[in-house]
Each structure stands twice: as structure tokens, then as C-alpha cells.
């Protein structure tokens, strides 16, 4: 305790400013200091005398500074060491007596003093009770202020965290791709807890018991160092922290994993730290579970930092910056993990549904190709080219489609529609679907056997006549004449056979062949019953008279009906909102801009853009495919010329054909395994 005689040279300066009033001021301060020193009621305070005119009463981290009123008027520089504490409300000022400056200037000066930390004006001759009340009120004022600031900071922090959790929840619920979702979960978890690094493990396996499954290390993030990581699997048991958390479904927080408790069921492998030059210290691990409590994975965060923006680059950083994950961090992590678990469950279910959809689509394509092996690979090639064209359209910066943009779901919808554009072929009779030539094999076989029958009948008839001639002693000339008739008939039937075989090919029918078929149709032969019947039936003449291709008009209509079947079948499948237009897109791929297409004769503005793109891919593949046994593959330049003719005829979109050609959509596909 310092008394009046213990005055330093520096303190004399402050006393000199008071002049003749210094002695009175010191006496009043001595009296107050004496009260504080001897009264038991002030025993909880630490009382010091930093200056003869000043008294400091401290409780915890807060202080009340008692100064003679003359200090405010004449020696305010004595308060300079307390300016910062007075500003941040960890100290308050009590003046002993009313300063003359305050009395002279009135309310304005008083307001200034209050802003500079003045808490009370106390009589210089105050009693111990008055002093106690004054100090109590000053300390309570500081405590109230601190509580208010603490609540304000807590409320601000709470609002911030709540806002972040809402944003995180929104982000988690909108992300459907599993790998991106895992990255988002880890990123947001580290963000709200201030973690430097972290990793995610995912449960794998179908065994009913969790212990018989595995944990796969899927992802890691680290703000301070860059390193290559690869996936690996480990058993689910208590020997690892992640395995322990998965088994117990409990959140585990460790302040320093290099100093685990002796009874810890799990250990820590330091090899990663040694390999990359890192120091893992604090860790918190929590399970990612479904709404039913099934563990889907484990979220593990590493090294909570005092300053989240700082990188941990050396030993000093790890020592000074890394702290344990506190209770609030654990609460936030568990809240986020609950959201993440449900989002992860939804993503897995979404992925399973997508796999089911894709499996159905692929199986459907396989079923179509099994019925029509001659077009094997066609659906997949058309799908790849259509998707490629869609992406090229999105990239174009000019023309009528420069504003086109696709969502991820749109591209997959296009892919599904293109893969299934011929799905309706399952509704077409198989023998029509695979008809390679104008006559079905059994029809050609029957016709050729008929020619053989006619030849044998002719031979038998002429042989009978020859026997009759010989029996009655006919001349050699008469017998030779019969032999010439037989030879001519053989030649006629052989020529007719060649005409039939040539006309049966699915090529363009020459005018002379058509006339020859008509001539053959007018010829007759006698059956065993003696009845005269045409050499060619009406249906055979109709089939062989097809001028191009292999199908009769009725068969062609049946083939064309596959588009209607496609729409009918696909529209019965509950595709959901994302793929709702699959049936419509697939069902319009044979429509033409000028309204001459089928099945609904839609015009340009009525045809979906996706269908227009698919039409181009479908035509191009049909021309260039090398797996058709009934025709040769057309070279790419020729196929592009044909697309140009289709544009001139008003069948397909000229702008889409331009993009198709400039982007050379076919190149990557024709060089792959599908061609």
C-alpha cells in the first residue's frame, strides 16, 4: 500500500498542476483509500494506489478507478494508462467531488465525461456505505455491459450459424450426385467448425451385420497441404477411430491423438503425418446415419483452428493455432451430420433409382437388338451422336439455337429417349422386322421348289410323249423336236429363276425386271390335280415388284408403326418429372419439318428440338452403319450429301445439320467400338 510520503518524481508533476489545492486533494484521497483498506466489506477487492491522486479497486478482470475531481480538470493526462480499458468497459471512473469543469460547462461536459468512462460522482467525504454502494453499482454496470455484449456476440454467432446451417441444408438437399455431395458435406462441416482438414468414410457391403461390412475411405480435404490420396477399404471394428464411431454410433472428440488415453479402444497411425509433414492433433468423428439410424458412413474432422483462415505450415502454427473441438463445434457437427445423413441416404436412393432406370433402358435396348440383330449397336450410336449434337448446340454462339442451354437432367432425358427411340419394334412382327429381302426365306424356297416341280412335270410330260412317239415308230426328227422343247423349257425356267433371284434383292428394281415378273405372273402350270394355276402368286408378284428395299407397302407401314408403339409403350412408364418428355421425344424422331413425317405429320415448330437432333443422328447412322447385311455402308461424305438433300427436301433442320457437320459429331463414335 502506498502512502502520501511515497511520491515519485514523475508524480510530483501531477501534484504541481494542482498548486495550493494539492494538499487538500491528497487528504481526501487518503481518506477514501483508508476506508477501502480497513473496511472488511471491501475484502473481495484488490486495492492499489497507482498515483497519489488515484485509487484502483480491482475485481477479476474489471477495475474501478477513483480519482480526485481536480484530476479531471487539471491533470487528465494521469488517466492516459487507463484509456483503453475505459473504452472497452473493463474499467470505470469515479470522481471524488464534482470537477469545476463539469459545473462550468454543464450537460455537454458531463456527456463527454460519461463517454470517457465516468460511472459516478462521489462526495470526497463519502462514508463507507456510500463508497460500497458506488463501487457495487460501478462493477455491476461493467458486468451488465459484458453480459450484454456476450449475449449480443452469442446472438450474432447463433444467427450466423443458423443461417449457415440453413444454407448448408439447402445445398445438401439440392445436390444429387453422390461424389459431389460427399465433397459438399465435408467442406461445409469443416467450415462451420473451423477445421483445417477432414475425411469421409462410406460403409460398403450388403451383409446384415455392420461388422461384416467395410469402411471405404472416399474423400479427404486439407487447407494447409496438398497431397495425393487414393481410396482404400478397412474393416469396421474398434481398432480405428472411424470404425469405432461406426460401430458405437457415438461422436468421439480427441484433443490430441498423439496422447490417447491408456484405455482407448482405438489407436492412431502417424504414418500419414510422417509422410506428408503434417501434425494431426485434435480430431472429432461422428457417424452419418439415415433417419432410421442405419450408419452410412463416418465424418472425421481434423485440427480445429483458432483462426480458420490461417494455414498450418510449421510446428509453431500447430502449437499456437490448433485447439480442441469444443462443445459448440460438436453440436454444430452433429446437427450438420444429421442433415448430411438424410441427404446422403436420398442421394444413394436416387443413385439406385437411376441405376434401375439405366438398367431398364439398357435391357430394353438389348431386347430390341436381340429381335433385330441386323441393327445391333444402332440405338447406342444414335444416343451418343444425339447427346454429342445436343452439347454442340449448347456451345454454339450464333444462329437460332444460341440461347439453348441444357440441365443435367435434360441431357440424360435426351440419352434415354435416343436409346429407346426404336423400342416400339417389339410390337412389330419379327419376320417383318428382320426381313432382309423381298421374299421371306420360306417364300423363296417354296417358289424355287415350284420351279423345280414345273421342270420335273415338263420333263415327265415330254418323256411320256416321247415314249408314245417311239411306240408308234415316229421319226428321229419328231423325237428330236421333243428334246428341243425340253431344253428350251429348261432354259426358260433357269432364266426365270435368275430373274426371281435378282428381283428378290433389296436393290432398286430395273424396269425390265418388273416387266419380266409380270410376264412370269401370266404363265401357268398344272398341279397334280390337273388344275392350271399361275406360276407366281399375287402376293409374290407384289413382293417382287417392290421398286426399292425389301418391304411391301403394308410391311413398310407395319415397320413405321414402331414409332407409335414406342410412344405408346414409353408413355406408360412413370418417368417422373425429370424425364417426363422421353416418350414424346422418342415418338417424334421420324417427323419431318414439312409435315410429311410420321406418325402424326407434325410440322417444324411442333417437333421437339431433341427429336430434330435425333432424326439427323438416326439418318446418318442408318446410312453409315456397316453391320447391315442387306446394304453397303455409305461413306461419310456421301452420307453428309444425303443429309443435305434431306435439308433441301424440307425434312430436317438445316441449322442442326450445320452444327452436326462442323462439330464432326460422328468422329469419336465411328472410331470407337460401336462401329
Read off the pLDDT band of 346 (50, 70, 90): confident
Specify the CATH number for the domain of residue 247: 3.30.450.40
Position 17 scores a pLDDT of 56
- Asked whether the predicted pLDDT for residue 10 surpasses 60, the reply is no
What is the average per-residue pLDDT within 577-606?
92
- Asked whether the predicted pLDDT for residue 164 surpasses 80, the reply is no
Q: Are residues 79 and 212 in the same domain?
A: no
Whether 23 and 12 have beta carbons less than 8 Å apart is answered as no
- Could you tell me if residue 256 is inside a domain? yes
Mean pLDDT of the residues in the chain: 84
More confident residue, 100 or 518: 518
What is the average per-residue pLDDT within 327-348?
85
Position 1 scores a pLDDT of 38
- Could you tell me if residue 364 is inside a domain? no
Q: Are residues 342 and 257 in the same domain?
A: yes
- Asked whether the predicted pLDDT for residue 2 surpasses 50, the reply is no
Least confident of 12-16, 225-229, 257-261, 671-675: 671-675
Position 9 scores a pLDDT of 46
**End-to-end alpha-carbon separation of the chain, Å?**
100
- Could you tell me if residue 335 is inside a domain? yes
* Cα gap 642→415, rounded to integer Å: 25
Position 423 scores a pLDDT of 84
Identify the three-state secondary structure at position 563.
helix
pTM here is 0.60
Beta bridge partners of 534: 524
- Asked whether the predicted pLDDT for residue 104 surpasses 60, the reply is no
Position 5 scores a pLDDT of 41
| Containing structural domain, residue 602 | 372-432+555-670
Q: Are residues 401 and 385 in the same domain?
A: yes
- Reported as a single tens digit per residue, the pLDDT across 454-483 is 888 888 888 888 888 888 887 888 878 888
Q: Are residues 342 and 207 in the same domain?
A: yes
- Could you tell me if residue 57 is inside a domain? yes
What is the percent of the chain with per-residue pLDDT over 70, rounded to a whole number?
A: 90
User: For residue 95, what are the CA distances in angstroms to 25, 38, 54, 64, 558?
Assistant: 12, 21, 10, 10, 107
Task: Identify the domain boundary among 523, 549, 575.
Answer: 549
Number of folded domains that form the chain: 4
Position 78 scores a pLDDT of 87
Position 510 scores a pLDDT of 65
* Cα gap 504→237, rounded to integer Å: 73
Q: Are residues 664 and 577 in the same domain?
A: yes
- Reported as a single tens digit per residue, the pLDDT across 238-296 is 999 999 999 999 999 999 999 998 889 999 999 889 988 999 999 999 999 988 888 99
- Asked whether the predicted pLDDT for residue 13 surpasses 60, the reply is no
**CB neighbour list of residue 634: distance below 8 Å, 6 or more residues apart:** 623, 624, 642
Position 322 scores a pLDDT of 94
Q: Are residues 527 and 617 in the same domain?
A: no
Task: Identify the domain boundary among 518, 549, 580.
Answer: 549
- Could you tell me if residue 163 is inside a domain? no
Whether 371 and 426 have beta carbons less than 8 Å apart is answered as yes
What is the average per-residue pLDDT within 390-399?
92
- Could you tell me if residue 294 is inside a domain? yes
93-102, 288-297, 626-635 — most confident range = 288-297
Read off the pLDDT band of 301 (50, 70, 90): very high
State the Cα angle at 472 between 469 and 476, rounded to 5°: 50
Retrieve residue 551's grid coordinates. Answer: 418391304
More confident residue, 339 or 273: 273
Read off the pLDDT band of 100 (50, 70, 90): low
Residues in the chain: 675
Helix, strand, coil content of the chain in percent (nearest 5): 60, 10, 30
Whether 298 and 200 have beta carbons less than 8 Å apart is answered as yes
The label of the residue with cell 409435315 reads 595
Q: Are residues 541 and 565 in the same domain?
A: no
- Asked whether the predicted pLDDT for residue 355 surpasses 90, the reply is no
Which CB contacts under 8 angstroms, 24+ apart, belong to 580-584? 581/413, 581/417, 581/608, 581/610, 582/413, 582/416, 582/417, 582/420, 583/417, 584/608, 584/611
* Cα gap 21→69, rounded to integer Å: 11
Q: Are residues 344 and 303 in the same domain?
A: yes
Q: Are residues 463 and 481 in the same domain?
A: yes
**CB neighbour list of residue 441: distance below 8 Å, 6 or more residues apart:** none
- Could you tell me if residue 79 is inside a domain? yes
Residue 455 Cα to chain centre, angstroms = 73
Q: Are residues 334 and 453 in the same domain?
A: no
Task: Identify the domain boundary among 501, 525, 549.
Answer: 549
- Asked whether the predicted pLDDT for residue 427 surpasses 70, the reply is yes
Q: Are residues 340 and 395 in the same domain?
A: no
Identify the three-state secondary structure at position 316.
helix
- Asked whether the predicted pLDDT for residue 7 surpasses 80, the reply is no
Read off the pLDDT band of 109 (50, 70, 90): low
* Cα gap 372→367, rounded to integer Å: 9
Other residues' Cβ atoms within 10 Å of the Cβ of residue 147: 10
Position 4 scores a pLDDT of 41
- Could you tell me if residue 363 is inside a domain? no
Identify the three-state secondary structure at position 529.
coil
Q: Are residues 78 and 58 in the same domain?
A: yes
What is the average per-residue pLDDT within 218-230?
89
Identify the three-state secondary structure at position 156.
helix
- Asked whether the predicted pLDDT for residue 673 surpasses 50, the reply is no
User: For residue 524, what are the CA distances in angstroms to 486, 530, 533?
Assistant: 17, 12, 5
Least confident of 35-44, 519-528, 530-539: 35-44
Position 675 scores a pLDDT of 42
Amino acid at each position: 500500500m502506498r502512502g502520501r510520503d511515497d511520491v515519485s518524481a514523475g508524480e510530483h508533476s501531477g501534484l504541481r498542476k494542482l498548486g495550493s489545492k494539492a494538499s487538500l486533494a491528497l487528504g481526501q484521497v487518503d481518506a477514501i483509500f483508508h476506508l477501502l483498506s480497513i473496511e472488511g466489506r471491501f475484502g473481495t477487492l484488490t486495492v492499489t494506489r497507482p498515483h497519489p491522486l488515484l485509487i484502483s479497486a480491482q475485481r477479476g478482470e474489471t477495475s474501478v478507478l477513483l480519482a480526485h475531481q481536480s484530476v479531471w480538470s487539471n491533470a487528465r493526462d494521469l488517466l492516459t494508462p487507463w484509456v483503453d480499458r475505459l473504452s472497452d468497459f473493463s474499467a470505470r471512473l469515479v470522481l471524488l467531488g464534482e470537477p469545476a469543469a463539469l459545473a462550468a460547462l454543464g450537460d455537454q461536459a458531463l456527456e463527454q465525461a460519461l463517454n470517457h468512462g465516468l460511472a459516478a460522482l462521489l462526495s470526497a467525504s463519502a462514508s463507507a456505505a456510500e463508497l460500497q454502494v458506488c463501487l457495487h453499482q460501478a462493477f455491476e454496470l461493467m458486468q451488465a455491459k459484458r453480459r450484454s455484449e456476450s449475449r449480443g456476440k452469442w446472438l450474432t454467432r447463433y444467427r450466423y450459424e443458423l443461417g449457415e446451417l440453413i444454407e448448408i441444408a439447402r445445398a445438401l438437399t439440392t445436390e444429387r450426385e453422390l461424389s459431389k455431395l460427399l465433397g459438399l458435406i465435408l467442406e461445409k462441416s469443416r467450415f462451420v467448425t473451423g477445421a483445417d482438414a477432414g475425411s469421409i468414410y462410406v460403409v460398403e457391403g450388403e451383409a446384415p451385420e455392420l461388422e461384416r461390412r467395410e469402411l471405404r475411405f472416399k474423400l479427404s480435404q486439407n487447407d494447409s497441404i496438398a497431397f495425393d490420396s487414393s481410396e482404400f477399404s478397412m474393416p469396421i471394428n474398434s481398432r480405428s477411430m472411424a470404425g469405432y464411431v461406426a460401430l458405437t454410433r457415438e461422436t468421439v472428440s480427441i484433443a490430441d491423438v498423439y496422447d490417447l488415453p491408456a484405455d482407448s479402444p482405438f489407436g492412431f497411425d502417424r504414418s500419414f503425418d510422417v509422410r506428408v509433414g503434417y501434425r494431426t492433433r485434435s480430431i472429432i468423428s461422428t457417424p452419418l446415419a439415415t433417419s432410421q439410424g442405419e450408419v452410412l458412413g463416418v465424418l472425421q474432422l481434423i485440427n480445429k483452428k483458432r483462426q480458420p483462415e490461417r494455414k498450418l505450415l510449421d510446428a509453431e502454427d500447430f502449437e499456437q493455432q490448433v485447439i480442441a473441438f469444443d462443445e459448440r463445434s460438436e453440436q454444430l457437427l452433429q446437427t450438420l451430420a444429421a442433415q448430411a445423413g438424410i441427404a446422403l441416404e436420398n442421394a444413394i436412393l436416387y443413385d439406385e433409382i437411376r441405376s434401375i432406370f439405366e438398367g431398364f433402358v439398357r435391357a430394353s435396348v438389348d431386347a430390341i437388338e436381340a429381335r433385330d440383330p441386323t441393327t445391333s449397336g444402332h440405338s447406342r450410336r444414335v444416343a451418343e451422336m444425339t447427346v454429342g449434337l445436343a452439347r454442340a448446340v449448347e456451345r454454339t454462339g450464333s444462329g437460332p439455337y444460341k440461347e439453348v442451354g441444357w440441365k443435367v437432367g435434360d441431357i440424360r432425358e435426351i440419352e434415354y429417349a435416343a436409346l429407346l427411340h426404336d423400342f416400339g419394334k417389339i410390337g412389330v412382327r419379327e419376320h417383318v422386322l428382320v426381313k432382309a429381302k423381298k421374299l421371306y426365306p420360306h417364300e423363296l424356297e417354296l417358289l424355287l421348289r415350284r420351279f423345280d416341280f414345273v421342270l420335273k412335270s415338263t420333263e415327265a410330260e415330254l418323256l411320256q410323249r416321247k415314249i408314245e412317239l417311239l411306240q408308234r415308230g415316229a421319226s428321229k426328227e419328231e423325237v428330236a423336236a421333243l428334246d428341243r422343247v425340253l431344253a428350251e423349257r429348261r432354259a426358260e425356267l433357269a432364266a426365270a429363276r435368275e430373274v426371281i433371284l435378282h428381283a428378290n434383292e433389296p436393290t432398286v428394281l430395273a424396269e425390265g425386271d418388273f416387266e419380266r415378273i409380270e410376264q412370269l405372273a401370266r404363265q401357268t402350270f398344272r398341279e397334280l390335280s390337273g388344275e392350271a394355276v399361275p406360276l407366281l402368286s399375287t402376293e409374290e408378284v407384289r413382293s417382287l415388284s417392290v421398286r426399292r428395299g425389301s418391304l411391301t407397302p403394308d410391311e413398310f407401314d407395319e415397320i413405321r408403326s414402331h414409332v407409335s408403339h414406342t410412344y405408346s409403350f414409353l408413355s406408360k412408364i412413370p418417368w417422373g418429372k425429370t424425364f417426363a418428355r422421353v416418350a414424346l421425344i422418342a415418338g417424334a424422331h421420324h417427323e419431318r419439318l414439312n409435315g410429311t413425317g410420321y406418325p402424326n405429320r407434325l410440322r417444324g415448330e411442333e417437333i421437339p428440338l431433341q427429336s430434330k437432333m435425333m432424326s439427323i443422328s438416326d439418318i446418318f447412322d442408318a446410312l453409315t452403319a456397316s453391320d447391315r447385311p442387306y446394304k453397303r455402308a455409305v461413306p461419310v461424305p456421301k452420307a453428309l450429301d444425303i443429309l443435305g438433300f434431306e435439308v433441301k427436301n424440307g425434312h430436317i433442320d438445316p441449322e442442326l445439320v450445320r452444327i452436326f457437320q462442323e462439330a464432326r459429331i460422328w468422329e469419336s463414335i465411328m472410331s470407337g467400338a460401336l462401329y
